[in-house]
Structure 1
Amino acid sequence: MKFAESSNQAAELLRQAVPIMVRHNIPPNPLNYALWYTYVSKRLPELNSELDKTLNAYGTCPMMVSEQLFRDHMLRDELESAQDMQANLIALMNDLNHQAGETARRTSDYSEVLQDSLEALSDTDADRLPLESIIQNLAANTEAISTETRLFQQRIDEARAEINALKAELTRTRQDARVDPLTGLFNRRVFDAELEQLLGTAEPPRLTSLMIDIDHFKAFNDRYGHLMGDKVLQYVGKLLKEHAKEPVLPVRFGGEEFAILMPGATLDEGAELAETLREKIQAIRIKLKKSGEVISSITASFGVTDYSPGEGVDDFIGRADAALYQAKSRGRNCVHLSD
């Protein structure tokens, strides 16, 4: 998105945006500044409508929602950059294809020259070509094919460098310190920031949290190895992504523990999601390639709690942890609701 305001106009829009952010406990980071700056400028009516709905629902704008709205309404330049990267790759492949075709054609021509030379050398007629002429023709064509091959190898080397540069750029744009690299879920840092923002509003919204722990995970790792354990974590992360849609926030809390934050949800809704996930995890089947053994012992325990007005972040997380502990004490592979 392009901003065309003068310094005075921009300062005035920022003066309007900041009080809104403060009133609704919206973190003063660059993304939110851009979002609410655009809001007060009223240049994107659809964005304003979405932000108004979010404020009415939560009393704030959760970071997950902010990021989604930013992507949907303001990342046009970045999308164009990604399209440019794709176009560069297509152009590179087309150029290589042309070079390969040209080299193949020259190689075919050279093969014909060799055949003609062999025939000329084998010719017993009196009017056959002089040996000197045949040698000169071979030398010229050998030099030509050698040059063509050298140029093609040079282009391949250049292409490799370009592809590596594109790969590095893609990796750089995808790196995010807030994302767990194994599961692709956000990490606890994001969970804590989101929770602090939601509970920091004048009237915190209805809020439910799930704490999830994969049962006997250390013993699983000891028996089947850490690579197999990583596969289980990845699969659980995938299940959480599929069943926890925005603004619900699933995260890898640490180790074999996951958490889900559900703004606007009741305790019963949290229990329903937990039971769905418990059944999905219990249904995981992994077949070991070497032995053919089918692993069917993967389960998880769930603690579910909803926010009580007036409690702090630590108390809220503590009650969710206590509910999880109760689920483990009851034999695991179950859902326990906090008191």
Structure 2
Amino acid sequence: MKFAENTGQAAEYLRQAIPLMVKHNIPPNPLNYALWYTYVSNRVPELNQELDKTLTTYGTCPNLVGEQMFRQHMIKDEVDSAENVQAGLIALVNDLHEHASVTAEETKNYSDTLQDSLEALQADGGPALPLESIIQTLARKTQDISDSTQRFQTRIDDAQSEIESLKAELEKTRQDARVDPLTGLFNRRVFETELGTLLYSGNAGAVTLVMVDVDHFKKFNDTYGHLMGDKVLQYVGKLLRDFCPEPMLAVRYGGEEFAVIMPALTASKSAELANALREKIQAIRIKQKKSGEVISSITASFGVAESRQEDSINTLIERADKALYSAKEGGRNQVQIAP
């Protein structure tokens, strides 16, 4: 989990967290500081709910419960990813160790055979064994050690491929934790981190937030089914990617709701982009395979809010949400700018 607050905001969260820890007799260790800092910032609602329930039950937060919450809500992705990669590496090392042991044994046998052959050739009175027999034994053992070495080399090559796969898996896990699997957009976790960075960096200009909600989506799902609903969300996600290149950031905020961070754009300019996007969404046509019916009733509502100097993540989202609500109350399929 990343913390994007500036010094002032971070100090304010800490001033709120410490009295709560004292009040509930929470040990002042780094883990608990992180838990309660996150609690007062309200960035992980599920953590707040669990902490509130724990306080109601125990009057405090027992160490073991706190540690479990820390793993579950703050470092779960990192821990799971590390454990999976660690398990893969352990299995890989064990396998290589086994192959190396077999190769070492084959090498020792070959060395013994060489020694025996040398002694046989140097025996008093001539070779103790027929020369042809010694040569055949050496040839056979040489082939054995060659085969064993080749197998080990093959396993090393395979191990290199497995290591590359583990690296790719680790990278994919990190990416999966940030990307919505249905639309391919970044998720709310990335959204809050990036928005916080822009708001709290101290040297950034204004940033405009656009909240997008697909109109009557529940009714659409009930009428046409969830598969068609998913297809709509995928279309909207693609339009957002196409219309909102970097440095803008489009994310799936949750359900049928999306958000777009538009750095250095005024509310009026962002509203123009939002309106163009609204028209593109309105033009979506989806044909049902079974019935052949063309669905053309897809629209979306938009709420636009430009950041103010005093805005936090929550207050900016709240103002954009209010503008979105006004768009829906005003008849949907429109763009509203927060005052």
Given the two structures, how large is their TM-score scaled by the length of structure 1? 0.50
Q: How many residues align?
A: 185
CA distance in 1, matches of 2:319, 2:338: 7
- 2:225 matched to 1:233? no
Alignment of 1:11-90 (within 5 A): none
Cα 1:294–1:262 shift into 2, 3 Å: same
Residues 278 and 334, structure 1, Cα contact 8 Å, conserved in 2: yes
Relative distance call for 1:204 and 1:167 in structure 2 (3 A) is closer
Aligned-residue offset at 1:268: 1.4
Aligned to 1:307: 307
Report the CA distance between 1:167 and its aligned residue: 11
C-alpha separation in 2, matches of 1:326 and 1:198: 26
Tell me the percent identity: 56
Which amino acid is the alignment partner of residue 333 of structure 1?
N
Tell me the SS of whatever aligns to 2:201: coil
Mapping 1:161-310, distance limit 5 Å: 172=169, 173-175=171-173, 176-177=175-176, 178-310=178-310
Alignment partners' CA distance in 2, 1:274 and 1:293:
29
- Counterpart contact for 1:24–1:201, Cα < 8 Å: no
Q: C-alpha separation between the residues in 2 aligned to 1:236 and 1:228?
A: 13
Shift of 1:336: 0.5
CA drift at 1:201: 2.2
Distance in 2 of aligned mates of 1:210 and 1:334:
12
Cα deviation for residue 295 of structure 1 reads: 0.2
Tell me which amino acid in the other structure corresponds to 2:317.
Answer: I
Across the aligned residues of Structure 1 and Structure 2, the Cα RMSD in angstroms comes to 2.9
Q: Which residue of 2 aligns with 1:329?
A: 329
Instruction: Render the CA deviation track for 1:162-220: whole Å, top value 9, x for unaligned.
Output: 9x979966972434231000000000111111111111122441110100000000011
Asked if the contact 2:303–2:325 (Cα under 8 Å) also holds between the matched residues in 1, the reply is yes
Secondary structure class of the residue paired with 1:184:
coil
1:174 corresponds to which letter in structure 2? K
Q: Using a 3 Å threshold, how does the CA distance of structure 1 residues 191 and 165 change in structure 2: closer, same or farther?
A: same
Distance (whole Å) between structure 2 residues aligned to residue 235 and residue 187 of structure 1: 16
Residue 191 of structure 2 aligns to a residue whose secondary structure is: helix
Amino acid at match of 2:247: P
* 1:320 alignment counterpart: 320
Q: 2-side partners of 1:310 and 1:169: how far apart?
A: 45
**How many Å separate the matches in 2 of 1:23 and 1:223?**
47
User: Runs of 4 or more off by more than 3 Å in structure 1?
Assistant: 21-25, 164-171
Aligned partner of residue 274 in structure 2, secondary structure: helix
Flag structure 1 segments of 5+ consecutive residues without an equivalent: 1-20, 26-160
User: 1:211, 1:22 → 2: CA distance?
Assistant: 22
Contact 1:248 1:263 in 2 (8 A): yes
One-letter identity of the residue aligned with 1:294 = V
Query: Helix, strand or coil for the counterpart of 1:180?
Result: coil
The CA distance in 2 between the partners of 1:296 and 1:201, in whole Å, is: 43
How many angstroms apart in 1 are the aligned matches of 2:318 and 2:249? 18
Alignment of 1:88-107 (within 5 A): none
Q: Normalization by structure 2: what TM-score?
A: 0.50
Please say if residues 5 and 201 of structure 2, whose CA atoms lie closer than 8 Å, have aligned partners that are also in contact: no
Q: Provide the C-alpha distance between the structure 2 equivalents of 1:220 and 1:168, rounded to a whole number of angstroms.
A: 41
CA 1:306–1:222: 2 relative to 1, 3 Å: same
Cα 1:170/1:180, change in 2 over 3 Å: farther
Distance 1:222 1:197, change over 3 A: same
Corresponding residue of 2:41: none
